Amino acid sequence: MRKIRVLVNIVAVFTLFFLYLPLLAVAFFSVNNTKYGLVWKGFTLDWYIKLFHNELILQAAWNTLVLAVVSTIVSTLLGTVLAIGMDRFPWPRRMNTVLDMILHIPVIIPDIIFAAAMVVAFGFLRLLSSMFEPGLINMIIAHITFQTAFVALIVRSRLVSIGKDVEEAARDLHADTPYLLRRVLLPLLTPGIVAGAMLAFTLSLDDFIISFFTAGPDSVTLPLYIFAAVRRTVTPQIHALSTIVLLVTVIMVIGMERFTRNVQVN
Amino acid sequence: MNKVMIWYGELLSQKSLIKRGLFFLTPGMLWLILFLILPGLILIVVSFAGRGAYGQLVWDFSLENYKRMLGFGIFGWTPDYLIILLRSIWVAVVTTVLSVLLSYPLCFFIAGKPERTRYLWLTIVIIPFWTNMVIRTYAWFLILAPEMPLAKIASWLKIISPGMPLYPSAFAVYLGMISMFLPFVALPLFSSIERLDWTLVEAAQDLYASNVRIFVHAILPQTLPGLSVGVILTLVPAMGMFVVPDLLGGAKYMLVGNLIQQQFGTSRDWAFGATISMCLMVLTMFSLYVYKRKSKGVELL
C-alpha cells in the first residue's frame, strides 16, 4: 500500500507539472530579452510595455471587454427571469422536461455545432437587415444565447435549494408579487445570480470557437488575436499578452472560488 | 378550468397563475427559441441543400452531402472523410482514457492533503480549466520547439530531423488534447473521491483483496457518478475540438472540427459544413444515450 501511495504521488505531481509546464514556459519567455528563438538573453519588461502601445491589441482588449460585459448583463437578466419562470409555476411535467432539455443544449453539444448553427442563422438574418453582418452584434447575440442557459441552470438550482417556506410566509403576510420579488426572492437569490453572472462572464472571456465563427474584421477579441498571431509566428509580445490574460484568469478563478465557498459556509 | 388554488401561500386562480408564469418564461424562452432552437433546425435543413458556384446555398434537397461524407464523391469512393470522422472518435476516446488514468492519482493526491490546503490544490487544477484554450494550446509550441529537450531527444533518436519542432504531429495533438481535457475529468471525479468511504477499502484489504480488486470493487463503484460526468464532459467536446488539431496537428492530423471550420471558412460550403455538424451531433447524441443508460440520475451541471 505504501508503494502505491508513493506511485500515486509521483504520477500526481507529474500531472500537475504537465498541466503547468506550457503555461510557465509562456510566462518565462514573456520576459526574455530577445525577439527570436528560445534562448535566455536576460530579463526585460519591454514586451509588456510595447503591448500598451499596440493599437490592435488595445482594440482587441476593448472588444473582449465590451462583449463580455454586455452579454453578461443581458444573459443574467434573461436567465434569472427564466429560472424563476421555470421553477415557481405549476407547469405540466412534459413541459418541464422540454424546458429542461432546451437549457441543457448549450451545455452538452460541442461549441462548434452551435457556432455553425449561428453562422447559418446570421446568414439568413442578414437578408433582413445589414445589422447581422459578421461582427460584435452577432458575437454578443451568440454569447447571450449560451450564457442564458448557464445562468438559468445555476439560478434554478439556487431556487430549488431556497425552498418555498420563506415565500409562503411572505404571502401569508400579504406581500404582493412585486414586493415579494424585490424584498424576499431576489435578496435570497443574489448569491445564485452573482455566481451565474460570474460564470457567464468567464465563459465569454474564455470563448474562442463561437467568437471565431461569428466575428467580423472589426471585432477581433484577444483570443482571436492570439490565435491569428500564433498561426503566423510566435513572438514574445504574444507571450506577454497571454501572461496577462492568464493572470486575469487566475484572479477571477480565485475570486469565484472564494465567493462560492463563502456562500456555502453561510 | 379556471379553478382557485393555493400556490406558494398565495390564493389565486389557475388562469392568472399561468399568465404570470408565461410572463416570466417568455423573454428567456423567446430568445433561446430564436437563437438556439431555430438555428439548430435551420442547420438540419441546410445539411440537405447544395453549394452553388459562388458558395451560396442551393435548395435542391438531396442526400448528396451525406453520400459525400460517406465517401461517394465525383471521383468514386474515397474514405477520406470517414477516416477523419473515425480519427476524431479515436482521438476523443484515447484522450478520455488517458485523462481518466491521470486523474485518479491526481484526485487521490489532492484528497489526501489536509483540509486547510486542499482547496488551494484544487484551485491549481481549476485554473487551467478556465484558461483560454488558444493560450493553452499554443503554449505547447514552446515545449515542443527544436531548442527544447523533448525535440532534442527525438532528433537524437532519429524520429525527427534535427532543428525541427515536434509539431505539427499526432503526438502534439494528443499532448494538447490531454492537457486541455484533463481538468474536465479531474474536477467532477474529485467531488466523488472526496466523499469516498475508505472503510470499504480497508474492509477489502482485511479480506486480502489484490490492489486491482480493491480498485474495481471498492473504489470504482463509489466514484462512478463523478467519473461518468467527467467522461461525458471530455468525450463530447473532444470529438468537436478544433483549436488543438488546427495548431498542433496541421493538415497531417485533421479532425472533424477542422473539417467543419474549413467548410464555413475557406471552402465556403455551408451545406456540407452543416452535414458534418449533423454527423458530429449524431455522435454526441449516441454518447449521451449511452451515458443516460449507464448512469441514471447523475446530473451534468
Of A18, A107, A246, the CB nearest to B135: A246
pLDDT interval class at B298 (50, 70, 90) = low
Half-sphere exposure of A129 (CA within 13 A, CB side): 4
Q: How far apart (Å, rounded) are the C-alpha atoms in residues B146 and B155? A: 9
Q: Is residue A60 part of a domain?
A: yes
Of B35, B119, B179, the CB nearest to A19: B179
pLDDT above 90 (res B151): no
Of A39, A86, A245, the CB nearest to B147: A39
Tens of pLDDT along B11-69? 788 888 889 999 999 999 999 999 999 999 999 999 998 888 777 888 888 888 888 88
pLDDT interval class at B300 (50, 70, 90) = low
**Distance (Å) from the C-alpha of residue A58 to the closest C-alpha of chain B?**
18
**Distance (Å) from the C-alpha of residue B76 to the closest C-alpha of chain A?**
28
pLDDT above 70 (res A31): yes
pLDDT attached to residue A63: 95
Cα-Cα-Cα-Cα torsion B198, B204, B208, B212, nearest 10 degrees, comes to -90
Taking CB atoms and an 8 Å limit, are A226 and B240 in contact across chains?
no
CATH superfamily placement of domain B80-294: MetI-like (1.10.3720.10)
pLDDT attached to residue B279: 93
pLDDT attached to residue A266: 58
pLDDT above 90 (res B172): yes
pLDDT above 60 (res B301): no
**Distance (Å) from the C-alpha of residue B240 to the closest C-alpha of chain A?**
6
Q: Which segments of chain A does DSSP mark as H helices, in order?
A: 2-29, 46-51, 55-87, 93-108, 111-128, 136-162, 165-172, 177-179, 186-206, 209-214, 222-232, 236-265
Q: Is residue A37 part of a domain?
A: no
**Distance (Å) from the C-alpha of residue B91 to the closest C-alpha of chain A?**
15
pLDDT attached to residue B296: 57
**Among A52-66, A150-164, B56-70, B96-110, where is mean pLDDT lowest?**
B56-70
Q: Is residue A160 part of a domain?
A: yes
**Distance (Å) from the C-alpha of residue A187 to the closest C-alpha of chain B?**
17
Query: Cβ distance B300 to B232 under 8 Å?
Result: yes
Cell of residue B231, nine digits: 467522461
Q: Is residue A130 part of a domain?
A: yes
Q: Is residue A148 part of a domain?
A: yes
Cell of residue B220, nine digits: 470504482
The nearest alpha carbon in chain B to A231 belongs to B247
Domains of chain B, residue spans: 80-294
How many distinct structural domains can be found in chain A? 1
pLDDT attached to residue A265: 63
Of B20, B127, B133, the CB nearest to A208: B133
A1: chain B residues, CB-CB within 8 Å? 205
pLDDT attached to residue A81: 96
Supply the mean pLDDT for chain B: 88
The residue range of the domain holding A183 is 45-265
Q: What is the mean pLDDT of residues B188-197?
A: 90
Query: Cβ distance A166 to A219 under 8 Å?
Result: no
B182: chain A residues, CB-CB within 8 Å? 15, 18-19
Q: What is the mean pLDDT of residues B137-153?
A: 89
Tens of pLDDT along A100-154? 999 999 988 999 999 999 999 999 999 998 888 889 999 999 999 999 999 999 9
Taking CB atoms and an 8 Å limit, are B123 and A22 in contact across chains?
no
Query: What ipTM does the predicted assembly reach?
Result: 0.89
The residue among A42 and A145 whose pLDDT is bigger is A145
Which of A17, A159, A65 is closest to B109 using CA atoms? A17
**Among A108-122, B38-52, B143-157, B229-243, where is mean pLDDT lowest?**
B143-157
Taking CB atoms and an 8 Å limit, are A111 and B237 in contact across chains?
yes
Residue of B135, B236, B242, B287 to mutate, interface with A, max A Cβ within 10 Å:
B135
Q: How far apart (Å, rounded) are the C-alpha atoms in residues A117 and B42? A: 7
Q: How far apart (Å, rounded) are the C-alpha atoms in residues B260 and B241? A: 10
The nearest alpha carbon in chain B to A4 belongs to B211
**Distance (Å) from the C-alpha of residue B265 to the closest C-alpha of chain A?**
9
Q: Is residue A19 part of a domain?
A: no
What CATH number does residue A211 fall under?
1.10.3720.10
Taking CB atoms and an 8 Å limit, are A26 and B135 in contact across chains?
yes
Tens of pLDDT along B255-284? 999 999 999 988 889 999 999 999 999 999
Q: Is residue A95 part of a domain?
A: yes
Of B140, B142, B241, the CB nearest to A29: B142
Of A113, A148, A177, the CB nearest to B240: A113
Residue of A13, A15, A226 to mutate, interface with B, max B Cβ within 10 Å:
A15
pLDDT interval class at A225 (50, 70, 90) = very high
